């Protein structure tokens, strides 16, 4: 009886080990890919960068051009706080205030300016008598007062906006939201919502102004897009704070998720199956012996092929229909 028990136990252990090895082997032979490709957004180059806007045209000129404050190191590329002054117009407002090329603008009237969009949003507001710039030059931080120059209101400017084609599938414009509870806050105003955008499911609409992600304020439209694409994974759920119809609301937003599907199953040399979305294709083989397979099948778009022992091959496609004029 004892001998029978040990025989059964030993057989059970062997079966368990065999099952575990099979599971590991099968797992290692599986490959995954997204169930769908990122849907294309069909916009011309001009539409991607600019849109005509009467509501947020620039009203004040600072007489300078700025860009993101990127580090100069070749080994540690990153975007630093503030915006860097790239050019200054001679005898313009910035030049008169002592602003120089290479200066880092940290804030304007107390509003942090970590993106060029933040400066544009201030220029789109009603002109003030003066603007207090906090500037960093080398290791010194100081303040200057700049007198802006009004822009002719009859000129129709073209306004820059940003597109997020993956995580939220929408376009945004940097604006200053006039919020009663907190004065003016930088916001990413929704310009357009594209098909399959998770914004619609979350209840957000065009012209809503996003103020924060998970209670952390944003500084511009580009800051919002960068954070949802870099700080989170596709499919993650975040909380957005936004301003709509004179109220501030919070909503859960699940970022766009393409899903996953098995794209490859392989137990070499006995069996192999693979599919792809781009280009649409399907491959299948039995006993692939490197030089040839006992049987293989492949289909790429409209062309399919059957191969036996590397000797017999049948290939077919749909061909094309052409109109013949007589």
Task: Write out pLDDT tens, residues 64-73.
Answer: 988 888 765 5
Give the closest residue to 235 by CA, choosing from 249, 258, 255, 205.
Answer: 255
Residue, of 129 and 176, whose pLDDT is higher: 129
Tally of helices (H runs) and strands (E runs) in the chain? 6, 24
pLDDT on residue 228:
92
pLDDT on residue 55:
46
pLDDT at residue 76 greater than cutoff 80: no
Architecture of domain 58-150: Roll (2.30)
Per-domain residue ranges of the chain: 58-150, 158-254, 268-326
Give the closest residue to 134 by CA, choosing from 122, 126, 146.
Answer: 146
CATH of domain 158-254: 2.30.42.10
pLDDT on residue 40:
47
CA distances from 47 to 41, 189, 196, 229, 297 (A): 11, 17, 20, 22, 44
Q: What is the mean pLDDT of the chain?
A: 76
pLDDT at residue 89 greater than cutoff 70: yes
Q: Please, what's the b/e burial string for 201-210 (b: 16 or more CB within 10 A of its CB; e: otherwise)? A: ebebeeebbb
Please indicate whether the domains covering 58-150 and 158-254 agree at the CATH topology level: yes
pLDDT on residue 92:
87
Q: What percent of the chain has pLDDT over 70?
A: 69
Task: Note the pLDDT tens digit of each residue in 193-211.
Answer: 888 899 999 999 998 989 8
pLDDT on residue 277:
66
Task: Note the pLDDT tens digit of each residue in 216-240.
Answer: 988 888 889 989 998 998 889 999 9
- Most confident range (mean pLDDT) of 19-23, 91-95, 302-306 is 91-95
Give the closest residue to 146 by CA, choosing from 95, 216, 186, 217.
Answer: 95
The secondary structure of 117-169 as a DSSP string is HHHHHHHTSPP-S-EEEEEEETTEEEEEEE--EEPPTTS--EEE-EEESSSS-
Report phi then psi at 169, rounded to 5. 50, 60
Token output for 300: 């790429």
pLDDT on residue 235:
87
């Amino acid at each position: 009886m004892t001998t029978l028990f040990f025989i059964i136990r030993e057989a059970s252990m062997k079966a368990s080990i065999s099952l575990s090895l099979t599971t590991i082997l099968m797992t290692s032979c599986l490959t995954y890919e997204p169930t769908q490709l990122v849907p294309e957004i069909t916009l011309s180059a001009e539409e991607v960068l600019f849109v005509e806007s009467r509501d947020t045209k620039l009203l004040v000129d600072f007489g300078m051009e700025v860009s993101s404050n990127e580090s100069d190191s070749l080994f540690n590329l990153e975007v630093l706080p503030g915006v860097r002054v790239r050019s200054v117009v001679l005898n313009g407002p910035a030049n008169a205030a002592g602003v120089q090329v290479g200066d880092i603008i940290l804030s304007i009237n107390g509003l942090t300016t970590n993106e060029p969009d933040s400066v544009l949003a201030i220029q789109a507001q009603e002109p003030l008598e003066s603007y207090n710039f906090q500037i960093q030059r080398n290791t010194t931080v100081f303040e200057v007062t700049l007198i802006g120059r009004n822009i002719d209101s009859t000129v129709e400017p073209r306004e820059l906006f940003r597109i997020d084609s993956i995580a939220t599938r929408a376009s945004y414009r940097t604006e200053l939201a006039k919020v009663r509870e907190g004065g003016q806050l930088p916001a990413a105003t929704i310009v357009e919502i594209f098909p399959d955008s998770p914004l619609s499911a979350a209840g957000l609409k065009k012209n809503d102004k996003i103020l924060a992600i998970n209670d952390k304020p944003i500084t511009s439209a580009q800051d919002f897009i960068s954070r949802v694409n870099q700080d989170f994974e596709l499919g993650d759920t975040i909380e957005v704070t936004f301003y709509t119809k004179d109220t501030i609301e919070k909503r859960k937003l699940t970022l766009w998720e393409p899903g996953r599907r098995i794209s490859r199953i392989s137990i070499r040399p006995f069996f192999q199956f693979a599919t792809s979305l781009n280009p649409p294709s399907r491959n299948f083989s039995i006993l692939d012996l490197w030089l040839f397979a006992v049987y293989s099948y492949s289909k790429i778009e409209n062309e399919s092929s059957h191969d036996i022992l590397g000797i017999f091959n049948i290939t077919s496609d749909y061909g094309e229909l052409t109109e013949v004029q007589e």
